[in-house]
Amino acid sequence: MKVIENIKVIPKFVRTCPLLAICTESRQHQKVVVRHIWKDALEVCEDIRHQSGMKERYQHRKEMIERLFGTAKEYHNLRYTRKKESPKWKIRLGLL
């Protein structure tokens, strides 16, 4: 499964760049940009998050989502994490 995408810039465009020394030290004058494949989706989510009306909806997060996490912690005895370093405990948490 491919998680990282390599984007290579065409060298003939880079050679004429006035900021070449700052961008790359490559002898082939080629800049490689490493980008996660989900980065585009994350940028869309960030744009949605900063739209009007989303701030009010985000305030209700503590009422909806945090309550579910609190209930899960209580029912699955995750309130106290005394055994969190134990290998058996890590297996048990992985099953949830």
pLDDT digits (tens, 9 = 90+) for 42-69: 999 999 888 888 888 888 877 888 888 8
pLDDT at 95: 60
Q: Any bridge partners for residue 17, and if so which?
A: none
Q: 43 and 15 in contact (C-beta within 8 Å)?
A: no
- R_g of the chain computed on alpha carbons: 23
Q: What is the DSSP track for 22-77?
A: HH---TT---EEEEETTHHHHHHHHHHHTSTTHHHHHHTHHHHHHHHHHHHHHHTT
* DSSP H/E element including 93: helix 87-95
Higher pLDDT residue, 7 or 53?
53
Q: Could you tell me the pLDDT band of residue 30, with boundaries at 50, 70 and 90?
A: confident
Tell whether the model's pLDDT for residue 15 goes beyond 80.
no
Q: 72 and 78 in contact (C-beta within 8 Å)?
A: yes
pLDDT at 29: 77
Higher pLDDT residue, 44 or 29?
44
